[in-house]
């Protein structure tokens, strides 16, 4: 059954595209009607998403203006017992990158005596990573409650080298060495997992603690910030567009938390990680997998709470335009490899007798729809409209439908531009304030709005194509399966 479930997502995506071509030849009118309805559906969906984007953006802006540690102290709820474990996964990272991330922690508006810093290294990273981590430890170790360096061994049987196995090793060591056997209760520890280049913003741990203490059944919840990319001025246009789109999608999902899942950088109770046996170590897409692990372990009684507060990281870049484009494609392909979770979701949820069937069906249909849309929707919206007129034959070419199809699809696309305009405007406000003050000129705003004209091309090349490749590789299996690709990073300018 597992192998069939690995084949199914790609078969559905390729089947949809092939069917559109064949039916455009044999049943062009039916395809024309389908395309109009599909475009109408996505136009309405765009309007719906835009409403949530505006609402979530405004709430994030409001939260960024509050002193969350002061708000926490004024709430009257005891918070001093809460310990945060900030885990940075590191593999061959420049010292400057890791130092800047750790330095940002020392500037947080939360007592550092309540924070454990964990630098999670890979044995594969060699001695250079160990030297780098010890240098960071010597400079910052005294600031925190504890600072721990872990080294994930290479070549553990049945493991996939990558973030999941590294996080599992590091947090298990942290639990055994610094929590278990001490007066720190596992229920009082929140684990935040960050990539090496993530800089938690000033009040992140304040709002996280406040949200945790005010969330019903808080131990059965993950906590998701908004990922904002800080180097938008310095990356090529396609990397910038995909970075903004990622942030916008995160904001949209924060607006309807019933669909929210952990992504990239997130926080969750150590108790939940212990209950599920930490991250599965044989997967690439660990952020989605840990969500599904918890959903299965607690029989549907698991959710992700939106923080409506940002953390910053760096968008993908490279030595030149083609290098950056290649890195961006590989990053999107790695994210799209989350399709590997489908067999786990279907088999685990069906076997779990305590999991309500309505919730099972919702999440199973959700994961299929997500990856099918990722691979197919951009191609259908932006390219499929020409197929009936190209392949439909002379009879269809002389029909009213043939004449009106381009007009209708063009009208629907123009209506959808409303969403792009909203995204373009918000992209100006999402730029890093520090960079904006230092480098911005009056014409930059016009440029960053105008760049969205290339969004359809970006969504096809760096959205649909890597998703199709990932699903095809999963179909083929064996040597075609993806391994973990580590995002290359350059040294950053030191913080002021």
Write the pLDDT tens digit of every residue in 353-369.
999 999 999 999 999 99
Predicted local distance difference test score (pLDDT) of residue 69: 96
* Residue range 241-262, pLDDT digits in tens: 888 888 888 888 998 888 899 9
**Average of per-residue pLDDT values in the chain:** 88
Which 3 state secondary structure label does DSSP give 317? Answer: coil
Which 3 state secondary structure label does DSSP give 112? Answer: helix
pLDDT at 309 over 70: yes
Predicted local distance difference test score (pLDDT) of residue 298: 97
How far CA 110 is from CA of 12, 65, 74, 207, 408, in Å, comes to: 48, 16, 14, 10, 55
Closest CA to 125 of 133, 117, 115: 133
Q: Report CA 51 to chain centroid distance, whole Å.
A: 21
Q: Which residue has the higher pLDDT, 336 or 416?
A: 336
Cα(336)–Cα(374) distance, rounded to whole angstroms? 8
Q: What share of the chain is helix, strand, coil (3-state, %, to 5)?
A: 65, 10, 25
Would you say 286 and 279 are in contact if contact means Cβ atoms under 8 Å apart?
yes
Would you say 53 and 429 are in contact if contact means Cβ atoms under 8 Å apart?
no
pLDDT at 437 over 50: no
* Residue range 269-281, pLDDT digits in tens: 999 999 999 999 9
Predicted local distance difference test score (pLDDT) of residue 433: 43
Q: Where are the alpha helices (DSSP H) in 311-454?
A: 321-336, 341-351, 357-382, 387-391, 393-397, 400-429, 433-439, 442-450
pLDDT at 459 over 50: yes
Closest CA to 135 of 150, 149, 156, 125: 149
* Long-range CB pairs of 270-274, under 8 A, 24+ apart, other chains included: 270/85, 270/171, 270/175, 270/179, 270/186, 270/187, 270/189, 270/190, 270/191, 271/186, 271/187, 271/189, 271/219, 272/219, 272/220, 272/222, 272/297, 272/302, 273/171, 273/175, 273/191, 274/175, 274/186
Do strands 221-229 and 199-200 pair parallel, antiparallel, or not at all (unpaired)? Answer: unpaired
Strand partners, 311: 200, 227
Q: Which domains does the chain have, with CATH numbers?
A: 1-490 (3.90.550.10)
Rounded to 10 deg, the angle between the 357-382 and 321-336 helix axes is 150
| Strand order, beta sheet including 266-269 | 146-152, 115-122, 83-89, 189-195, 266-269, 221-229, 303-313, 199-200
Q: For residues 271-297, give the mean pLDDT.
A: 96
What is residue 316's DSSP assignment?
P
Predicted local distance difference test score (pLDDT) of residue 400: 74
Token readout for 417 is: 């531009």
Q: How many CA atoms lie within 13 A of 116 on its CB side?
A: 27
Strand partners, 146: 116
Closest CA to 40 of 405, 422, 365: 405
Do strands 83-89 and 189-195 pair parallel, antiparallel, or not at all (unpaired)? Answer: parallel
Predicted local distance difference test score (pLDDT) of residue 492: 53
Lookup result for tokens 């979701």 = 345
Predicted local distance difference test score (pLDDT) of residue 377: 93
Cα(238)–Cα(316) distance, rounded to whole angstroms? 10
* Residue range 22-66, pLDDT digits in tens: 998 888 888 888 988 888 888 888 888 888 888 898 899 899 999
Token readout for 188 is: 């009082």
Lookup result for tokens 């919730």 = 359
Confidence of residue 414 (pLDDT cuts 50, 70, 90): low
pLDDT at 393 over 90: no
Do strands 303-313 and 221-229 pair parallel, antiparallel, or not at all (unpaired)? Answer: parallel
Q: Report CA 239 to chain centroid distance, whole Å.
A: 15
* Residue range 154-174, pLDDT digits in tens: 989 999 989 999 999 999 999
Q: Where are the alpha helices (DSSP H) in 27-162?
A: 28-64, 68-74, 95-106, 126-140
What is residue 278's DSSP assignment?
S
* Residue range 142-159, pLDDT digits in tens: 999 999 999 999 989 999
Q: Which residue has the higher pLDDT, 482 or 210?
A: 210
């Amino acid at each position: 059954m597992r192998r069939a479930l690995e084949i199914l997502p790609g078969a559905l995506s390729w089947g949809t595209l092939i069917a559109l071509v064949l039916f455009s030849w044999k049943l062009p009118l039916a395809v024309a009607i389908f395309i109009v309805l599909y475009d109408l559906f996505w136009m309405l969906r765009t309007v719906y998403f835009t409403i949530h984007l505006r609402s979530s953006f405004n709430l994030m802006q409001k939260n960024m203006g509050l002193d969350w540690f002061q708000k926490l102290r004024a709430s009257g709820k005891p918070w001093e017992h809460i310990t945060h474990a900030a885990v940075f996964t590191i593999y061959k990272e420049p010292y400057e990158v890791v130092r800047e991330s750790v330095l940002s922690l020392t500037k947080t508006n939360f007592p550092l005596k309540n924070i454990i810093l964990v630098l999670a290294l890979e044995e594969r990273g060699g001695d250079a990573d160990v030297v780098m981590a010890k240098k960071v430890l010597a400079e910052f170790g005294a600031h925190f409650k504890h600072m721990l360096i872990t080294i994930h061994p290479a070549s553990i049987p049945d493991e996939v080298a990558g973030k999941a196995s590294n996080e599992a090793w590091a947090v298990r060591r942290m639990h055994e060495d610094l929590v278990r056997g001490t007066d720190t209760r596992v229920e009082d520890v929140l684990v935040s997992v960050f990539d090496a280049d993530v800089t938690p913003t000033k009040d992140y741990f304040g709002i996280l603690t406040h949200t945790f203490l005010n969330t019903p059944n808080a131990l059965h919840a993950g906590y998701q910030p908004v990922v904002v990319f800080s180097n938008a001025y310095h990356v090529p246009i396609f990397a910038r567009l995909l970075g903004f789109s990622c942030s916008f999608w995160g904001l949209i999902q924060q607006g309807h938390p019933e669909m929210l899942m952990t992504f990239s950088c997130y926080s969750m109770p150590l108790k939940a990680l212990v209950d599920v046996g930490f991250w599965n170590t044989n997967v690439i897409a660990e952020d989605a997998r840990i969500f599904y692990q918890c959903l299965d372990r607690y029989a549907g009684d698991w959710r992700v709470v939106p923080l409506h507060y940002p953390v910053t990281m760096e968008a993908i870049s490279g030595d030149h335009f083609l290098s950056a484009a290649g890195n961006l494609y590989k990053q999107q392909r790695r994210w799209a490899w989350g399709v590997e979770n489908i067999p786990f979701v279907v088999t685990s949820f069906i076997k779990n007798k305590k999991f309500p069937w309505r919730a099972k069906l919702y999440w199973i249909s959700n994961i299929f729809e997500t990856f099918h849309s990722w691979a197919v929707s951009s191609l259908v919206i932006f390219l499929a409209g020409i197929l009936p007129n190209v392949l439909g034959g002379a009879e269809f070419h002389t029909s009213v439908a043939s004449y009106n199809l381009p007009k209708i699809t063009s009208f629907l696309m123009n209506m959808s531009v409303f969403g792009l305009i909203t995204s373009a405007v918000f992209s100006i406000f999402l730029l890093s304030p520090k960079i904006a003050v230092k480098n911005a000129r009056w014409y930059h705003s016009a440029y960053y709005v105008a760049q969205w004209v290339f969004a359809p091309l970006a969504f096809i090349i760096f959205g649909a194509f890597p998703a199709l490749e990932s699903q095809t590789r999963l179909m083929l299996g064996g040597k075609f399966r993806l391994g973990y690709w580590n995002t290359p990073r350059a040294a950053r300018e030191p913080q002021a």
